[in-house]
Amino acid sequence: MYIESQREYGWTLVPERFDDKGYSAASLDRPALSRLIVLARRGAVDQILIHRFDRLSRRVRDCTALLDEFRLLEIGLVVVTAPEIGHTAQDNFMLNILASFAEFEREIIAARIADSRAQLKERHLRIAGAIPLGYDSDRRTKQLVQNPMEAEILRWMFVEAAAGKRPAEIATNANARQFRTKANGQWSARQVVATLRNPVYVGRFKDGKGVRPGCHEPIIDMNLFEAVGHALDSRRTAGPMRTSYGEVWLLKGKIYCRRCDRLLTSHSCRHGVIVYRYYRCRATSGGRSPCGYQVPAGRLEAEVYLHFPWRVRRDMRSDQFRDAVVRMEYDPEMDEIVVLWRETES
């Protein structure tokens, strides 16, 4: 229609419309826009007419890149809802402002979405994501409602785990009984663990690294859930060799520096996914300067770990590990470890 009004200036339509309906202008990766750019580069376009500026691109940087390209190709740009815009410095300034507003608008929308997520959280509602086994999504409210058949499978799984069955065994048994995952697949040990750890079954939701309350009906009793959690924890703590993924300080508060008789402190640093842990003498208590050295945590923890027969090691819990040591001393000069063990019956 706008083109009709400009016909006296000799405007004609190229036969194609470049319409990215359904694609967000947040991205330049849109089929019609790509076609338009190809056509423009071939010299087949003199003027580009857009309805609203933010339909071109909502990112200032993308906009500027596009406009630069159009300018190099000597293509005019007309925004129907804005006054005629050419390629002078002032116009560029104007375009940038328009683009900034478009971007600002997009951020406002993003903020609004974040807001409504926060509100859902506050009201203990489910936000989005896969529906866990044992539940279905209510068609109207999108909240979790129990699926009685699947809830039975879950209860069975938790009871097995509480009875001491290993996740791999549970997976095998579940598959033998034709139990399926929510995605209708076979069970793996990993999926069993993920299921047994999912707080959704005690009426909560995972939230980042923590948990938030939900408003759905729990399937598993809290005591059972916690017992299973402990059982899984104790399996995982096979010893300090396997705890390198995180900050587990099995001997913290028990290791003393032989040179200055002060407690070693814990220190870790991360390189990519690997966490390096050290115990070090960095304390300045008593007004003395620290010795300043550090020992890899694994070296000291291995001393304790290897003290136990492998049969014990395999199922040892972290508190057992810790309790076995009354005091440990590290001698930086001799690189020696001295351990005072707690007396045991065996």
**Helix then strand then coil, % of the chain, to nearest 5:** 40, 15, 40
Please count the CA atoms within 13 angstroms of the CA of 114 that sit on its side-chain side: 6
- d(CA 329, CA 290) in angstroms, rounded, equals 16
Nearer of residues 58 and 280 to Zn ion, judged by Cβ: 280
As measured in angstroms, the least distance from the Cβ of 301 to Zn ion is 19
- d(CA 212, CA 126) in angstroms, rounded, equals 10
As measured in angstroms, the least distance from the Cβ of 251 to Zn ion is 16
**Residues 286-315 as x/- pattern, contact with Zn ion by CB under 5 A:** -----x------------------------
* Window of 13-21, 154-162, 257-265, 315-323 that interacts with Zn ion by CB under 5 A: 257-265
First-residue to last-residue Cα distance in the chain: 94
Reported residue count of the chain is 346
Residue among 236, 254, 257 nearest 246 (CA): 236
Nearer of residues 39 and 260 to Zn ion, judged by Cβ: 260
Nearer of residues 192 and 257 to Zn ion, judged by Cβ: 257
Please count the CA atoms within 13 angstroms of the CA of 27 that sit on its side-chain side: 10
The distance from CA 10 to its chain's CA centroid, rounded to whole angstroms, is 56
188 is written with which tokens? 């793996």
* Residue 260 near Zn ion by CB under 5 A: yes
Strands 265-271 and 255-257: what pairing? unpaired
As measured in angstroms, the least distance from the Cβ of 339 to Zn ion is 18
* Window of 45-53, 199-207, 218-226, 273-281 that interacts with Zn ion by CB under 5 A: 273-281
Nearer of residues 50 and 337 to Zn ion, judged by Cβ: 337
- For Zn ion, which residue of 161, 170, 281, 316 counts as binding (CB under 5 A)? 281
* Window of 8-16, 58-66, 84-92, 251-259 that interacts with Zn ion by CB under 5 A: 251-259
As measured in angstroms, the least distance from the Cβ of 329 to Zn ion is 10
Query: With contacts defined by CB under 5 A, how many residues of the chain interact with Zn ion?
Result: 5
User: Where along the sequence are the contacts to Zn ion (CB under 5 A)?
Assistant: 257, 259-260, 281, 291
